Amino acid sequence: MHDFLFKSSFVLNNGHGEKAELGDLEYFLKKDLEFAVVDKDVFEKFKLSDFGTKDEPLNINGSKELIEHYKSIDATKIDFVEKINNIEYMGFSDKGEIILHFKDEGEGEGKGITATGVYDFTKEFLDKLFNIHKYAKFCIEKKYVDLIRENLEELFEKLKETERQYRLIKKDESLFLRAITSTRYKNYDNHIAIYLVLLMFNKYTKDSGKVFNIVKADLSDSEILVNFEYENPIVLEDFGKVYLGAVLSNSEIREKKFTLELRYRIESSKNEVSFGAIPPLKDSLFSIQHSASTGILEERLGNIRDFDKKYNDMIEGILSVGKVKKFNDDNLFKLFKKITSSNLSAGAKNKFQDIYDKNVVNNTLTIIEVFNKTSEITSDLEERMYLERIYHQMIMELTKEKEE
């Protein structure tokens, strides 16, 4: 993950995780709902008491670990709206991050607070309000700090009525400016995303009689990525196992969505080598803008009941992958073209080039082995998801060729 202030990851193989109880989800209910309007609305629509008794175990192995890991990275966050007139520029930190003081006479919850930018806040603040980040960066490099102060103080005065919503995050006793967020932003934060998906998946498992495993999670104070899989796989003789599942993702600081996408994993019958694949976003269970109303949120979450139906349209193609015994040179070249022409980082492309060069002449790899090796070219979560979309696309293309 990125260099977040708080982060935690875990992997649980073969459903070895423990089940939390329904009552454990109370942790996600913010106590001070007076200042958490969205939380209050969400928790009124999805009352814990409507889904069972507190001592009832969730039908999700690994849910206990997920909650415990989330607790370890949970941070105090404050959102408030403030005018430039009530902000004082204090300078830059040694790391080149802007330091702002919110005056006592301000109207927002941040009044009296001094905080330093973190993540992309400095760039976002200087560009969204004044379009001068490159100029400021140049001045810092040249040590022209007086010029920055002169320009910013003048701009603060000229644009003093400009109003923005700011998000603060607290670590130990220090406060950091994390992002400028839209006032339309509904704050479907990570605790809400986890609460809702665990609640709705548990309801689905009760209705269907199936059990989910949480097999992997990457959590931070800003983003989450959680992989769910059915406990029982589909076995393809002499090939491997297919675990149908989904991936939950959410981000609090970027222009992203709260999503639950289909994701399946194929594991070799010869060894524990495997890879994950993600169908197109249009086939997701839901994709919710952070500006969406809680009414839309409620409607989209209902799509979880269609989990099996979503897979019905593509399951034949997915299972036909068992017919692709060897990933030949033509297929390797197709993968090469998809990756080298993609938006992946140069470092990831170079690592794949190395894999390609080593295997193109004497390729004995199976499709599972190729995709497993390719997944190692990057540790970036977004890039890995991008690769998994490519894998699904190739599976559909290869199985279609077999049919023809």
The first and second tokens of residue 145, run together, are 């700090």
Structure tokens at 12: 């649980």
Q: pLDDT tens, position by position, for the chain (404 residues)?
A: 557 888 999 999 776 899 999 999 999 986 554 446 678 888 888 999 999 999 999 999 999 999 999 999 988 888 888 999 999 999 999 999 999 999 976 566 677 899 999 999 999 999 999 999 999 999 999 999 999 999 999 999 999 999 998 999 988 888 999 999 877 666 788 999 999 999 999 999 999 999 999 999 999 988 999 999 999 999 998 899 999 999 999 988 766 889 999 999 999 988 779 999 999 999 999 999 888 888 899 999 999 999 999 998 889 889 998 888 778 888 989 999 999 999 999 999 999 999 888 887 667 788 999 999 999 999 998 999 999 999 999 999 988 776 65
> First CA to last CA across the chain, in angstroms?
42
- Closest among 390, 367, 368, 66 to 228, alpha carbons compared: 66
CB 277 within 8 A of CB 388: yes
Rounded Cα–Cα distance for residues 257 and 220 (Å):
16
Closest-CA residue to 82 (of 104, 57, 102, 52): 102
CB pairs under 8 A, 24+ apart, for 104-109? 106/82, 107/81, 107/82, 107/83, 108/80, 108/81, 108/82, 108/166, 109/35, 109/78, 109/79, 109/80
CA distances (Å), origin 288, targets 48, 246, 281, 297, 299 = 22, 16, 12, 7, 10
What pLDDT does 19 receive? 96
Calpha distance 60→326 (Å, rounded): 35
List residues bridging with 176 in a β-sheet: 116, 169
Domain ranges across the chain: 77-181, 320-403
Note the residue count of the chain: 404
Say what the pLDDT of residue 34 is. Answer: 47
CB 226 within 8 Å of CB 194: yes
List Cβ neighbours of 79 (8 Å cut-off, separation of 6 or more): 109, 165, 166, 167, 168, 181, 187
Please give the structure tokens belonging to residue 66.
């997920």
| Beta partners for residue 274, in sequence order | 267
For residue 33, what pLDDT is reported? 47
For residues 135 and 111, give the distance between their C-alpha atoms in angstroms, rounded to a whole number. Answer: 29
Query: What's the rounded Cα separation, in Å, for the pair 350 and 196?
Result: 40
Rounded-to-integer distance, Cα 163 and Cα 124, Å: 14
For tokens 């001070």, name the residue. 32
Cα–Cα distance, 136 to 145 (Å, whole number): 8
Neighbouring residues of 92: CB distance < 8 A, sequence distance ≥ 6 = 98, 99, 122, 140, 145, 148
Residue 235 and residue 241 in contact, taking contact as beta carbons nearer than 8 Å = yes
Q: Given the structure tokens 């009352």, which residue do they identify?
A: 47
pLDDT at 256: 80
Phi then psi for residue 397, to 5 deg, are: -70, -45
pLDDT value, residue 15 = 66
